[in-house]
Amino acid sequence: MKVLIATEKPFAAAAVNGIKDIFGQTGHEVALLEKYSSRDQLIAAVSDADALIVRSDKVTSEVIDAASALKIVVRAGAGYDNIDLDACTAKGIVVMNTPGQNSNAVAELAVAMMIFMSRNKFNPGTGSEISGKKIGIQAYGNVGRLVAIKAKALGMDVMAYDPYVSPDAMKADGVIPADTLEQMYSECNFISLHIPATPQTVGSIGYNLISLMPKGGCLMNTARKEVINEAELVKVLTDRPDLKYVTDVAAACQEELNQKFCTRVFATPKKMGAETAEANINAGLAAARQIADFFETGCLKFKVN
Ligand code: 3PG
């Protein structure tokens, strides 16, 4: 079998070597397409691949149509909104993710962003401390739980909202369950987004929620830019000169945000939540093992379609 690793944003070398080792033992061939600049390169590379490992690379129906031998796509990471699941399912192609494998890296970045914004993006001037403040975690999954642990260790009060997690499970972690999103936004100095991009969540974070935040509140997005209603974000940052927005996924209107609200907004130049050697190794090797197991035993653990 031929496994294509297609990563516009490459894995750390140690992760690529680890993946090669795994497939070296199973006898599968590995091809590498890194830092590619056009969809056509991916389309050409995938044409004879039996398995595909990607990160945030867009696996569109066009890519799937070109992949005549493809049996499995593994997104080395959590969010699989970059993969056309319907196109894969229609061709009987299995899609998996590797949940939890890069979560700690994203959680650490969320904490870093919180301190960075509290200290005026490291510009001169009086900042504030996060100890004693309250953080609201929107979606208490793998990343949300890790943010909660770290925030508590830093002396913060932690609240979470997640309709899929029982309040008792949150309480057992020392986390205050919010009855409603509105309650959480009203009470928290920081809101950290960890929701996936789905038809239900896209554009769901807008004026009505953000404007509930207390004075000096900071919205932190290490999820997906699509969950924000950007026109309403601009409006609320205009109406509330005390609020801040920090994001690991530059908004489509990031230039406008930077120009209008310079000191109160920040976007990483390229998505970097999972950009650690550890996360690359964890997610990359998990993807390789999942593919090896799929071919060897038909294992479908972590199938998402
Ligand atoms: C994820 O969904 O796992 C994260 O957003 C990381 O994405 P990346 O692999 O493109 O850095």
Q: How does pLDDT run across 48-89, given as a tens digit for each residue?
A: 999 999 999 999 999 999 999 999 999 999 999 999 999 999
Instruction: Tell me the C-alpha distance between 262 and 58, whole Å.
Output: 31
Closest approach atom of ligand 1 to CA 223: 5
Q: Give residue 157's pLDDT.
A: 98
Q: How does pLDDT run across 223-234, given as a tens digit for each residue?
A: 999 999 999 999
Tokens representing 127?
């900042």
pLDDT at position 173 over 90: yes
pLDDT at position 8 over 90: yes
Q: How does pLDDT run across 179-222, given as a tens digit for each residue?
A: 999 999 999 999 999 999 999 999 999 999 999 999 999 999 99
pLDDT over 70 percentage in the chain: 100
Do residues 43 and 66 touch, judged by C-beta distance below 8 A? yes
Q: Give residue 57's pLDDT.
A: 98
Closest approach atom of ligand 1 to CA 9: 10
CB of residue 75 inside a 6 A radius of ligand 1: no
CB of residue 79 inside a 6 A radius of ligand 1: yes
Q: How does pLDDT run across 122-170, given as a tens digit for each residue?
A: 999 999 999 999 999 999 999 999 999 999 999 999 999 999 999 999 9
Mean pLDDT, the chain, integer: 98
Give, in order, the Cα–Cα distances in Å from 49 to each of 15, 31, 74, 105, 190: 20, 9, 13, 30, 44
To the nearest 10 degrees (0 to 180), the angle between helices 103-118 and 277-297 is 160
**Mean pLDDT confidence for 291-304:** 98
Q: Give residue 255's pLDDT.
A: 97
Q: Which residue's alpha carbon is at the smallest distance from atom 6 of ligand 1?
A: 274
Do residues 76 and 98 touch, judged by C-beta distance below 8 A? yes
Q: Give residue 203's pLDDT.
A: 98
Do residues 55 and 76 touch, judged by C-beta distance below 8 A? yes
CB of residue 134 inside a 6 A radius of ligand 1: no
Ligand 1 centroid to Cα of residue 271, in Å, is 8
pLDDT at position 249 over 90: no
CB of residue 216 inside a 6 A radius of ligand 1: no
**Mean pLDDT confidence for 248-255:** 95
